Amino acid sequence: MSGRSPDSSADADHRRRGVTAATPVPRRQALADNVYEAVKGLIMDHEIEPDARISIDGLARQLEVSPTPVREALARLESAELVVKEPLRGYRATALLSHEQLADLYQFRLLIEPWAAAQAARLATEDDREQLRAEMATAHVPNETGYDAYKTLTAHDTRLHVLIAELAGSDQVRQAFERTHCHLHIFRLSYHRTIGTQTIDEHQKIVDAITRADPDAAEQAMRDHLATSCYERLLPLYGTQKNLTSREETR
């Protein structure tokens, strides 16, 4: 008896050919991630209404899973401030950002992100510029409505802004930005094809300015992007309450 496992010769053959065996994702972790994305999608699409109570058992039945991964998903979503846990009452979805909260969020962003874009233009290496170009290559306007279609764009939006903050050389700015979870809350207010196209065009202008090492242009492009997002795309939604509660108004 050789003492070798039955798969050892296959593993050795893979190593000789330079093939590394993939580490399978534990089924429990895959289930937890799937449930997390499913519950987040329900919140983002207002299938779970803003400020509504959330039944763990009801979600478990709807998703055909046990309550455990639902509890885990809600704990993760609490850190993103999409749900809140109340003592003796359980979870509820957070309310949409109010007019004042959205304005405050953008005032904060306008203080730190134009500066970060200018700094990134001053400090970026060629490798950094390649990172920015590679990130822009991931940006695509979805062909459908709904968060499931838009979550790729949401992820790109977050990654690009975080990357620019990183390239500015300030961990404090990056961490402060990440703690806002702003893109989830903004996309929860409204998302549609026009916004996707405009957002990508504005991102490209910012990246172009940074990659040609033009701090003034980078700062202005970021300022314009944030101001347009706030004052032209989002704050007008508060004209009527219906605009914030019905997805049909913005699709």
Give the pair of three-digit tokens for residue 200. 């990508």
Q: What structural domains does the chain harbor?
A: 24-93 (1.10.10.10), 99-249 (1.20.120.530)
Phi, psi angle pair for 84, to nearest 5°: -135, 140
Q: pLDDT, tens digit, for every residue of 194-244?
A: 678 899 999 999 999 999 999 999 999 999 999 999 999 899 988 744 444
**Cβ(131)–Cβ(163) under 8 Å?**
yes
What CA–CA distance (Å, rounded) separates 158 from 148? Answer: 16
Within 8 A by CB and 6+ apart from 63, the residues are 35, 38, 39, 70
**Mean pLDDT over the full length of the chain:** 84
- The confidence score (pLDDT) of residue 32 equals 85
Kindly report, residue by residue over 110-165, the tens digit of the pLDDT.
999 999 999 999 999 999 999 999 999 999 888 777 787 788 888 999 999 999 99
pTM (two decimals): 0.77
